[in-house]
Amino acid sequence: MTVKTGRRDFLKGLIGGLVVGGAVGVAGSEIYRSMIAPPPPPVKEEIPTSPLKAGIQAYLTGGGALWGKPMMQGAVLAIEEINEHGGILGRKINYVVKSETGPEETVREYRTMVLDEKIDFYVGLISSSNTPAVGPVAEELQTLTFFVDGCTDFLFEKAVPNPRFCFRITNIQSADGVSAAVGAIKLLNLMEKDKVRIAHIHPDYAYGRNAHAHMQITFEKVLGRDRVEVVYEAFPGLFKVTDFTPYITEIIASKPDVLASSLWGADVVNFYKQALGYGLFEKMKFVSCIAHAASPAEAVKDFPDGHIAGVHANYFFLYPEWTRYPVNKAFVEKYYRRWGTYPDSPSEGAYVAVYMYKNAVERAYEILGKWPEVDDIIKTLEGMTIYGPAGPIHVRAGTPNKHQCYKDGIVGISKYDPTYGFSILTNPITIPISKITVPEGWEGTPDPKAGTLAYSWISQTWREGELPV
Amino acid sequence: MIGVEEILIRAYNIFFGASVLFLISVGLNIIYGVMKIVNLAHPAFFTLGCYAVAGFGMGIIINIFGSSSITPILIVPPLFAALIVVIASLLIFPLFLFMSGRGDEVQLLLTYGLLLILEDLFRLIWGSEPLRSSQPYELAGSIYIGEYIVPVYNIYVIVSALTVALLLWFFLFKTKQGILIRAASMDIEMTSALGADVRRVLLITVLFAAFLAGLGGGLYIPSGSVMLGMSVELLVLAFVVVVIGGLGSFLGSLIGSFIVSLLRTITLIIFPELELALIYIVAIIILTLKPEGLGGGRKW
């Protein structure tokens, strides 16, 4: 059956079509225009003029001061710089500094800063004993909290599994042990040895236990379980031991090829000074995941050459090389001018933390047109990447380890450098963080013994006898 | 298999550890013996000795004697440290007079307060970073025991501690001042009644304890480092030493230091995990079975 269209119908249709088409055309061009043209600027509300207040909490005494002092200096440098340039959207930053000590006292000081000092954001902590204690309090008091270190996997896997207010700048702790072990295997050519005898010495608390577990599983996985023999293990109390000579003797007597260690602060200083007198460094390779990480001018002044220099999988001021990466060069110069010494992992971390806050506030302001609420800042931080002195650093938005920051790790070989007057990290190798840490979205359960997801992830997904990077 | 070398080198470590502990705890014991004051601030004097050398003493000494002449660099720092600590203790001697004869709670509060004040002074003067002064340790070098290498400096510390112990024994038992100190420790009123200047005896006691702490600090620092908070750690160790050895007795310090050092080395060979625990367990057992300590029960 054919349908005949009459003249009247045709005209009707033509007019109707033109009307509809015109309307669609007009609407379409409107939509198109709205797609390519910038949105009308949100009506910007006035920014409060009152200054912001930052809370800084760092070890200022005891064996941890080698870390706490540079951390405070990094944060203060960032704040002073920002203030010099007019503050964050015109708001200057004031700051208050409190001491980091044991968990109980540290939490008490944290509460004081939030409740009495009314801080807007917080930058602090070195110890892995303290972040799991302060984390839940930060969530309870709803205060934007940047942990510079206190890197334990336990924080975002168990203590605060679904954080809103806590973020952590340093690489996760398991990555620290894994980086050092992978670095040692590559730099010392351990893959070529038939058998590797390993001794361990770590501080006796969360950090040391974690470093021990992840260095060991990495050696076992990459070298093969049969090729690794543990000959001695010791866990001296953190900053409790001043005389390491009995340990040194036992380590030498057990004749290891490699001494894996996460001693830090004053402990590593006492240990290596005393070990020098016992000739320990001529008899084995010392694999430290952390010795070069903080205050190298004081901590590793005359550290022996040719051993594995770990920087807590974070930062050493010579890398990324200054000529290639101006952000680092600028940071080192500014830090040196301000403090008369070179920056390190904790100072870089604290510096990045302050800038991360600034970036998030400014980005949120661009979108919202008003000074952002804390939740707006949090949303902006999640998934954000910024370029810090150590390179790009990314804030994880999803689980596991939500709100943990990630950047590539670095390991090298120790060498005394007369230009600087202390031992530096040379022959650097970069360890891509994505290859050595649990990725976003991995659904495993923490290893019952080591207590971390990373341990399970390595033992379940790495192929034995193969380097991951 | 443990050979002769292994035994020798461990014995060497045990003696070194015991020497340091002895130098820390002996002054604590002397002050308690005479004045019945548990001087919680005593380890801070040891720490002050360390700071005196690492903070500025070693610089001065090297300026005067040069950096390569071994004898003065070994001998002068501990004496210098002792001098500084003696001067410091002179300044706070009135506090000791005030405390003498008062209740335990007054003494504990005052001496612990003094320890905290001293720690803060250290921070004010020398900052918060650990300090070192290892020139003597490096200059003394190392020697071989079989295939093991050991630092010579530790031998020097052991010999010095032994010398101090011998001189101390001679002083306490053979000189008039020493006999007066022991007399005062047994019955201060009787000593006074017999015509001895008790105030002077107390002054000598305090200065003497300070001298030993300073000497110990100056001897120890080249082999380690000094940091804030160290006084508290040392206090705990010194207490374990006197609990095991016996409070108020010179012999107690010797026995206690040796036992603590021995226990430490043995646990580190057999089961490192138990290092501190075992020392405390032994302290608890001794406190329960023999509260006066192994060297106690007898005076000096």
Q: In this predicted structure, what is the pLDDT of residue A405?
A: 98
| Best mutation target, A67, A72, A242, A301, to test chain B (most B CBs within 10 A) | A242
Average pLDDT, integer, range B3-31:
90
pLDDT at position A226 is: 95
Q: How far is CA A388 from CA A170, A342, A391, in A?
A: 12, 16, 5
As a whole number of Å, the CA-based R_g of chain A is 27
Compute the average pLDDT of residues A190-218: 95
* pLDDT number for residue A35: 59
Phi–psi pair at A320, nearest 5 degrees: -60, 150
Residue B290 pLDDT grade (very low, low, confident, very high; cuts 50, 70, 90): confident
Please identify which residue in the block is written with the tokens 């550890």: B17
pLDDT at position B297 is: 55
Query: Is pLDDT larger for residue B68 or for residue B17?
Result: B17
B179-209 per-position pLDDT tens digit: 888 888 888 888 888 888 888 888 999 999 9
Mean per-residue pLDDT over chain B, rounded: 89
Contact B229 A61 (CB under 8 A): yes
Say whether B132 sits in a helix, a strand or coil: strand
Give the number of other CB atoms < 10 A from CB of residue A261: 30
Exposure letters B62-76 (e unless 16+ CB within 10 A, then b):
beeeeeeeeeebbbb
Min Cα–Cα distance to chain A from B258, Å: 14
Q: Retrieve residue B36's tokens.
A: 């019945």
Of A14 and A416, which is predicted with more confidence? A416
Contacts of A266 in chain B (CB under 8 A): 130, 225, 227
pLDDT class of A8 with cuts at 50, 70, 90: low
Measured between beta carbons, the chain B residues lying within 8 angstroms of A62 are 128, 227-229
| pLDDT tens-place string over residues A213-265 | 999 999 999 999 999 999 999 999 888 888 899 999 999 999 999 999 999 88
Q: What are A371-390's pLDDT values in tens digits?
A: 999 999 999 999 999 999 99
pLDDT of B81 above 80: yes
Instruction: Pick the closest to residue B238 from B257, B255, B222, B221 (CA basis).
Output: B257
CA A99 to CA A105: how far, in whole Å?
Answer: 9
Tell me the C-alpha distance between A150 and A304, whole Å. 28
Q: Decide if pLDDT at A3 tops 60.
A: no
Residue B123 to residue B179: CA distance in whole angstroms: 39
Residue B296 clears pLDDT 80, i.e. is over it: no
* Rounded-to-integer distance, Cα B188 and Cα A338, Å: 59
Residue type (1 letter), B114: L
CA A53 to chain CA centroid, Å, is: 23
Main-chain phi, psi angles of B131, to 5 degrees? -115, 150
Interface contact A266-B227, CB threshold 8 A: yes
Among all residues of chain A, which has the CA nearest to that of B229? A62
Segment B276-282 shows an average pLDDT of: 85
Classify the complex by whether its ipTM is higher than 0.90, answering yes or no.
no
Average pLDDT rounded to a whole number, residues B101-109 = 88
Task: Tell me the nearest-neighbour CA distance from B13 into chain A, angstroms.
Answer: 6
DSSP B180-205: HHHHHHH-HHHHHHTT--HHHHHHHH
pLDDT in tens, A33-67: 555 666 656 677 889 999 999 999 999 877 788 89
Residue B237 pLDDT greater than 70, yes or no: yes
Predicted local distance difference test score (pLDDT) of residue A40: 59
A309-334: pLDDT as tens digits: 999 999 999 999 999 999 999 999 99
- Cβ distance B228 to A246 less than 8 Å, yes or no, reads no
Res. A26: pLDDT tops 60: no
Is residue A236 less than 8 Å (CB to CB) from chain B?
yes
Whether residue A13 is predicted with pLDDT greater than 70 in this model: the reply is: no
Using a pLDDT cut of 90, give the percent of chain A over it. Answer: 83
Q: What percent of chain A has pLDDT over 70?
A: 91
φ, ψ at B277 (rounded to 5°) = -55, -45
**Cβ A278–B275 below 8 Å, yes or no?**
no
Structure tokens given for A158: 């168990």
Identity of residue A292: H
- The CA distance from A348 to A332, in Å, is 9
Q: How many CB pairs below 8 Å do chains A and B form together?
A: 108
Q: In the structure, what pLDDT confidence band is assigned to residue A1 with cuts at 50, 70 and 90?
A: very low
Q: How much is the average pLDDT of A439-443?
A: 94
Asked if A127 reaches chain B (Cβ–Cβ under 8 Å), the answer is: no
B128/A68 CB distance under 8 A: yes
Angstrom distance (rounded) from CA A286 to CA A183: 12
Q: Is the minimum CB–CB distance between A291 and chain B shorter than 8 Å?
A: no
Contact A61 B128 (CB under 8 A): yes
DSSP A373-387: PHHHHHHHHTT-EEE
In Å, what is the CA distance from A384 to each residue of A100, A314, A347, A378, B296? Answer: 28, 18, 21, 10, 67
Contact B181, B300 (CB under 8 A): no
Show the tokens assigned to A235: 């866990």
CB A286 within 8 A of CB A382: no
Neighbours of B36 (CB within 10 A): 17
Mean pLDDT of A100-108: 95
Torsion over CA of A366, A367, A370 and A372, rounded to 10 degrees? -100
Residues of chain B whose beta carbon is less than 8 angstroms from a beta carbon of chain A are 6, 9-10, 13, 16-17, 20, 119, 123, 128-130, 132, 134, 137-138, 142, 148-151, 153-154, 220, 223-225, 227-230, 233-234, 264-265, 268-269, 272-273, 275-276
Question: Which residues of chain A neighbour B268 with C-beta distances below 8 Å?
Answer: 234, 246-247, 250
pLDDT band at B5 (very low <50, low <70, confident <90, very high): confident
Average pLDDT score over residue span A12-18: 52
Stated length of chain A = 469
Cα gap B207→B86, rounded to integer Å: 6
CA dihedral B196, B200, B205, B207 (to 10 degrees): -160
* Closest Cα in chain A, distance from residue B73 (Å): 17
Q: Is residue A6 predicted with pLDDT exceeding 80? A: no
Cβ A250–B123 below 8 Å, yes or no? Answer: no
> In sequence order, which residues have a C-beta less than 8 Å from that of residue B149 and are 6 or more positions away?
A277, A278, A279, B142, B143
Q: Which of A236, A270, A295 sits opposite B225 (nearest CB)?
A: A270
The answer, yes or no, to whether residue A113 has pLDDT greater than 90, is: yes
**Cβ–Cβ below 8 Å for A243 and B149:** no
